[in-house]
Amino acid sequence: MKYHSTQGKREDPAVSISQAILEGIAPEGGLYVPKFFPAYCVNDFGTNLEKIAEKFLGTFFLNDPLEEHLPEICKDTFTFDIPLKPLDNGIEILELFHGPTAAFKDVGARFLANSIKHLNTKTTILVATSGDTGSAVAAAFNSIDNIQVVILYPKDRISITQKKLLTCWGENVISVEVNGSFDDCQSMVKKAFRDEEMVKEYHLNSANSINIGRLLPQAVYYVKASLEYFRKHKKYANFIIPTGNMGNSLSAIWAKLMGFPIGQIVLATNANDSIVQYFKENIYRANNTRETLATAMDVGNPSNMERFLNLKAFFNFDLSEISAQSVTDDEIRQSITQFYKEYKRAICPHTATAFAIQQKLGLEDVILVATAHPGKFPNTISDILGIDVPLEKDILDVMKKATDPHEISNYEELVNLLKNKL
């Protein structure tokens, strides 16, 4: 399998998965996408997560230096449960938050870290985070030699718990608090990647969902969950997916296009509704970021939209079952309250967008995607429900090591910081 860039020309040579992973972003600024999407036979898949991962990802690593390491990479990535739990009447919830930093991003970040480990290169991972990516990436790369991690996050736009999880890793992780929004962080990262000198000097690589090494492993849990649902209910599952940068939902879309039993895919956004506007008007416009309760989805210009538009332009897939809906902060609050009333447990504000949309649409045969543990957002949950929902003890222990971050306001300060620290 080869990969080409969304901004590339048809005649440009395609690259291998190792190269796509190491570059992160393509030289002319595009994002890597597979040259084609293989069709799978669902009967070839069993029920074991690690085995499903090996089989599904095998095609994407064919004839690559990483191919021989894929079983080990899968074994080291899929170390925690990703359970699909029934709620009632054909509604189920896919819990993606049982990893080391309690959000779905642990899956992609661990897969990426384990892949890069086998490529034996010196690398600096530079990543912008709206809260959960940074900690997942820090945790995933923390124990890997030769790799430095630099994390940019927006000041005052993440929870205290998230901040602790970004600053508790020590040695090879540099945490940087940016005076601005997530989009400001993301533009600084993009600027650094366009800066050839910086890329060369520090061997910069990205661990944002612009890196294809994060998107492919995420498709694995959609493969597993859709098969499990289909075998149990003899029906295709509809998925509602909390969406920000569109990395998680794009993985689901890819899984659907490759023949797995997925019906509708509804992208749930918060008030940042560029994607919803796009589905309405068929014209994509980036917007300024709005602050909401579902902070990890506060993205005005979702980077994976580019991959979706490319899919539309170059493949002949029927995308009519993909749609998007946005949810206000009030609806998020109501959703958390309603879910607690019906199912006696808390959901995080992101997951709440999915439940709000299920309620609004009355969609049946549905899997709600739970992207983070509610304990990561203690203030929001206790404001709305008046209860404390603790995280698992091992995460609380790690958080005790939190330290002070570096602070910057612009790109020049980032350049200087890297000069001094790397």
Ligand X SMILES: *Cc1c(COP(=O)(O)O)cnc(C)c1O
Pick between residue 174 and residue 210 the one whose CB is nearest to ligand X: 210
Cβ 135 to ligand X shortest distance, Å: 9
Collapse the DSSP code of 226 into the 3-class scheme (helix H, G, I; strand E, B; otherwise coil) and give the result: helix
- Beta-carbon contacts of residue 347 (< 8 Å; ≥ 6 apart): 335, 336, 339, 340, 355, 370, 374
Collapse the DSSP code of 255 into the 3-class scheme (helix H, G, I; strand E, B; otherwise coil) and give the result: helix
- Contact in structure between 305 and 356 (CB atoms under 8 Å): no
What letter would DSSP give residue 265? E
The whole-angstrom separation of Cα 399 and Cα 348 is: 19
Q: Which stretch binds ligand X (CB under 6 A): 170-178, 232-240, 245-253, 255-263?
A: 245-253
Q: Which stretch binds ligand X (CB under 6 A): 33-41, 140-148, 220-228, 240-248?
A: 240-248
- Contact in structure between 265 and 322 (CB atoms under 8 Å): yes
Is residue 201 left, alpha or beta, with left meaning phi > 0 and alpha meaning psi from -120 to 50? alpha
132 in contact with ligand X (CB under 6 A): yes
Cβ 324 to ligand X shortest distance, Å: 11
- Contact in structure between 332 and 345 (CB atoms under 8 Å): no
Q: Which residues in the 16-75 window bind ligand X by CB under 6 A?
A: none
142 in contact with ligand X (CB under 6 A): no
247 in contact with ligand X (CB under 6 A): yes
Collapse the DSSP code of 272 into the 3-class scheme (helix H, G, I; strand E, B; otherwise coil) and give the result: coil
Strands (E), 166-261: 173-178, 204-206, 237-242
- Beta-carbon contacts of residue 114 (< 8 Å; ≥ 6 apart): 72, 73, 76, 77, 140
Pick between residue 246 and residue 255 the one whose CB is nearest to ligand X: 246
Collapse the DSSP code of 153 into the 3-class scheme (helix H, G, I; strand E, B; otherwise coil) and give the result: strand
The mark string for 82-121 relative to ligand X (x by CB under 6 A, - otherwise) is ---------------------x-x----------------
Q: Which stretch binds ligand X (CB under 6 A): 222-230, 241-249, 319-327, 383-391?
A: 241-249
270 in contact with ligand X (CB under 6 A): no
Q: Which stretch binds ligand X (CB under 6 A): 36-44, 82-90, 243-251, 310-318?
A: 243-251
4 in contact with ligand X (CB under 6 A): no
167 in contact with ligand X (CB under 6 A): no
Distances (CA, A) of 342 to 269, 335, 337, 345, 384: 23, 10, 9, 8, 15
Q: Which residues in the 312-371 window bind ligand X by CB under 6 A?
A: 350, 371
Cβ 43 to ligand X shortest distance, Å: 30
Q: Which residues in the 190-209 window bind ligand X by CB under 6 A?
A: 209
What are the phi and psi torsion angles at 73 (to 5°)?
-60, -45
Cβ 126 to ligand X shortest distance, Å: 17
186 in contact with ligand X (CB under 6 A): no
Residues within the interface to ligand X (CB under 6 A): 103, 105, 132, 209, 242-249, 296-297, 350, 371-372
